[in-house]
Structure 1
């Protein structure tokens, strides 16, 4: 069958889609990835066929012009999605206004430049299945316009689907629905009726294990995470096991690429760990490494190390609870100290802490000593390692992308 994956130009989101694209391709299916023109290099670097559509315009480019406003919004989920985290009582008017705000500041900006070209291409190529990341609504619009089956592929906890269920329950009998009205306009334009599948897909491919997932009534199809972070080289020092317990500190790339920097005080954390009898591997951009000062003994400062090679050698990984980082580490049964800050990270970290294999701290308030104490608890108290191993076993029991392909073939036939 023909499968079209659709995402706006975000590397961290795209990398979560790559293993399934590989699995479909190696099963004999024709797989292509549609995104904005400037993203084609990232797609082809992953060995996949790129389809450039629309213009190069995204939320992040707008944010570059107003960094102070974007920075002020970093600290968890905005409305309407914060109702999932229990940060706010579900309230119809507040959620309605939240959807309107997200449309004007996010969803329209990312999707409008792609929709017309994507629909034209889909009608030309006629895919059997369209797989889209959960905010690239251009995907389901194009799928419905050409008669394809379509599914969301989640990269984190499903705050989008759960918030939508809250909203529909609260909005029963009310006509005002900013997201539905926006998508309904495209439905009418391209000759079909609005349906909730334009918001949450005909089914949802979920890489988050059930013990951490946000519960919804949606048709959820589990899929095991397969680590992929782009081109990777295993350094020579990883060829041998560490002589001391190894701890990794990795806080992702988004904070420094799109924002003013990390919320946590990285030099303070590194200094607090310096006198411990362990090896610290900190993966940091070069400009952040320059703020550390004199490199402590037994500390490696690296710009990048493939996490799927590093995590299995570690006793603890300190990270930002970015879903790719968190799930890759969890796949190897390693306890984690999480310092979540942006969008979905605090909610994923909260659920992980409740599962029992991690400890979570707020990065803008935490001291290096507090990170040190949390890390030592994870090492000294065996219950954390036991629960991390439970999570690993749960993830390994989920179907791999390759094992999922026959199910996707069945679902495609069902929904076409």
Structure 2
């Protein structure tokens, strides 16, 4: 069958899709990955076939054009904003709050997807995919799938805050008088449904089914949605294992990794790197910190027990570690969990704070809010990660749970069956 992946540009949202794309290719299916032209190089570096559609759009530059300030960007990065913060706190599930939140969210979806929609539909009409897989921000994929009668699925790279928020919203919408049941997302997607000649359905918002890469202990599911669990397979793009990493460490190794995008996009790191390094300096450990060169230049000193590198493949580093300090990002959390390593998660962006709490509740990790992550608190947490057998046991339980999930290759036959079920003749 022919499988089309649709993504808006973003390394952190694209890389989690690559293993499934390759599983489909090695099973003999034709695979294409469509995105804006400027993202084609990132797709081809993953060994996949890129389909440039539409035109390029710089979202940060667009927001600047609308007069969005640094302070507003920082507020938007501090955890979940409406309507998705209902997942963090059900008390936020009020009609007025969620309606306003969806109106703002749709403005962003419209700006991100508009450059791609026409070109993606045109390509789909010529190539005729059987299945379209789209990441949660890329509604253009759902529109193109329905325009040609293809089955389509969301592939999540995070908690399903989108499906869960939609579930709350639809419940509240049904409680409103008929004349007041506004729905910004359905109105926006419904306009494209009319344009391309098909009826609106909720699958445009949430897919015919959803591919979920988080184990059940770390994620909730929306009622009424069809989820396929899949084991997370780390993929970081072009990477080389350095020589120093091939030798077992002489002392317990602690990784400090705060996200390759955090320093440049999501309001900076969640903790003070200098303070953390200073308070770990007297422990009998080797600290490996993945710090961009620009951040390293701002450090006043580097302790003798610290190795600073701008990048190292996380799936090669983590197996050599006794503990990991991270930002609660999905890829970092899942890579660490795959190897049964206890972690300290300090999250502040999007679903990271929720992920950190779920990790701690599962039993294999500690979590802190950024304001709590002082040098002494981080030092104490690392000592616990290295010595608490309960944390090690919890991390091993999470590892075992993840390894029970089907791999991308295992999932292919089910995708074939669901494609046959949902595509139009």
- Which residue is equivalent to 1:42? 42
Shift of 1:58: 4.3
State the partner residue of 2:185: 179
Residue in 2 that maps onto 1:70:
73
Which of these residues, 123, 145, 150, is aligned with residue 125 of structure 2? 123
Secondary structure of residue in 1 paired with 2:154: strand
| Structure 2 counterpart SS, 1:242 | coil
| Residue 285 (structure 2) pairs with residue 278 (structure 1) | yes
Looking at structure 1, the residues matched to 245 and 131 of structure 2 have their Cα atoms a distance apart, in angstroms, of 40
Contact 1:272–1:369 at 8 Å: present in 2 too? yes
TM-score by length of 1: 0.97
Single out whichever of 56-65 and 207-216 deviates more from structure 2: 56-65
Q: 1:365: how far off? A: 4.3
Q: Is the 8 A contact 1:263 1:363 kept in 2?
A: yes
- Any conservation in 1 of the 2:347–2:368 contact (CA below 8 Å)? yes
Aligned to 1:93: 96
CA distance in 2, matches of 1:60, 1:326: 27
**Deviations for 1:314-335, whole angstroms, at most 9, x for unmatched residues?**
1111010110111111110111
Alpha-carbon distance, 1:87 to partner? 6.3
Q: Distance in 2 between matches of 1:152 and 1:102?
A: 18
**1:379-398 superposed matches below 5 A:** 379-398=386-405
Matching residue of 1:148: 150
Q: Show the counterpart of 1:404.
A: 411
Judged with a 3 Å threshold, the aligned counterparts in structure 2 of structure 1 residues 350 and 87 are, in CA distance, closer, same or farther, namely: farther
Distance 1:164 1:100 in 2: 13
Matching residue of 1:216: 222
Q: Deviations along 1:126-166, whole A, 9 cap, x unmatched?
A: 00000000111001000000110000000011000001001
* Structure 1: distance between partners of 2:230 and 2:197: 33
Quote the residue 1:189 is aligned against: 195
Please name the residue that 1:22 is paired with. 22
CA distance in 1, matches of 2:407, 2:257: 26
- Alpha-carbon distance in structure 2 between the residues aligned to 1:173 and 1:364: 39
Counterpart Cα distance in 2 of 1:317 and 1:193: 48
User: Any idea what SS the aligned residue of 1:17 has?
Assistant: helix
Which residues in structure 2 correspond to 1:271-310 (within 5 Å)?
A: 271-310=278-317
Q: Give distance in 1, aligned partners of 2:356 and 2:63.
A: 25
Matched length: 415
Partner Cα separation in structure 2 for residue 155 and residue 135 of structure 1:
11
Which segments of structure 1 move beyond 6 Å, counting only runs of 4 or more?
A: none
Return the alpha-carbon distance in structure 1 between the equivalents of residues 125 and 382 of structure 2: 53
CA positional deviation for 1:62? 2.8
Q: TM-score, normalised by structure 2?
A: 0.95
What is the Cα deviation at residue 69 of structure 1? 2.1
Give yes or no for contact 1:207–1:224 (8 Å, CA) kept in 2: yes
Residues 399, 133 of structure 1: CA spacing in aligned structure 2 closer, same or farther, 3 A cutoff? same
What residue number does 2:106 align with? 103
Q: Which residues of structure 2 form unaligned runs of 5+?
A: none
Contact 1:33/1:49 (8 A) holds in 2: yes
What is the rounded CA distance, in whole Å, between the counterparts of 1:287 and 1:230 in structure 2? Answer: 21
Which moved further from structure 2: 265-274 or 84-93?
A: 84-93
Q: In the alignment, is the contact (CA less than 8 A) between 1:60 and 1:258 conserved in 2?
A: no
Q: What SS is found at the alignment partner of 2:77?
A: coil
Q: Which runs of 5+ in 1 are unaligned?
A: none
**Stretch deviating more after TM superposition (249-258 or 218-227):** 249-258
The secondary structure found in structure 2 opposite 1:254 is coil
Separation of aligned partners in 2, 1:50 and 1:38: 11
Question: Counterparts of 1:137 and 1:384 in 2: how far apart (Å)?
Answer: 40
Of 362-371 and 176-185, deviating more is: 362-371
After TM superposition, give the deviation of residue 311 of structure 1 in Å. Answer: 0.3
CA shift, 1:388, in A, is 0.6
Q: What secondary structure does 1:257 align onto? A: coil
Judge conservation of contact 1:58–1:109 (CA < 8 Å) in 2.
no
> What SS does the corresponding residue of 2:166 show, helix, strand or coil?
helix
